[in-house]
Amino acid sequence: MANFTFEKTKIEGVYIVTPRTFGDERGYFMETYNEEEFNEAGLKYTFVQDNQSSSKKGVLRGLHFQKVHPQAKLVRVLKGEVFDVAVDLRENSPTYGQWVGEILSEKNKRQLMIPRGFAHGFLVLSDTAEFAYKCDDFYHPEEEGGIIYNDKDIDISWPELDIEYTLSDKDKHHLSLKESAIKFKGGIK
C-alpha cells in the first residue's frame, strides 16, 4: 500500500503530497519522504540539503529563489501552520507568473513539492511555526534573488491576520516580477 498521495495543482510540476499516517493513543508515525514512491509519481529528485526554520505569527518569508542554481523543494510544517506559496518563473511555462498557495500544518501534515524554477515563500498563521524543507541543490548565498511578496501582477491572496506582517529588510526591498524579469531556462520539467 502506498504511503503517499500526490495531488496535482493548477501549475504543472507542483504537487500537494500527503503522507499516510499511522496513529493510536500513543501518537503517530509517518514517512515524510520515500525516494521509490516519489520516483513512481514522476517526482525524481536527489535531495542534498535539509533546512529548518522557526518563525512567529505574521512572519512572511519570501518570495525567494536562486538565480543560477535553482532548487526544487519539498516543504512541510513540523509545528504550527503556514500559508505556503510557489510562483512559476519557468521561461516557457504557460503558467509563468502564476502562483499556487496551500495551508500546511502539523495537523494536516501536507507537504508541497516545488520543482526548480519557482519563487517560494510562506506566511506564519499560528503563534509559532517550525518549517522544514529538502532541497535538490545547495544554498548559494551569492545567488539569492527575490520578488516582492505583494507584487500586484502576481496578486497572491495572502491571508489577513490581526497583526502586521513581519518581513526581513531584504524581503521588503525585492523587485516586482516585471522589474526583475527573471525567467528560468528549461521551462517545464
Positions marked catalytic? 64, 133
First to last CA, the chain: 28
Cβ neighbours around 15 below 10 Å, total: 24
Q: Name the amino acid, one letter, at 98.
A: Q
* Burial classification of residue 183, based on how many CB atoms lie within 10 Å of its CB (0-12 exposed, 13-18 middle, 19 or more buried): middle
Task: Report which DSSP code applies to 10.
Answer: S
What is d(CA 53, CA 40) in angstroms, rounded to the nearest whole number? 30
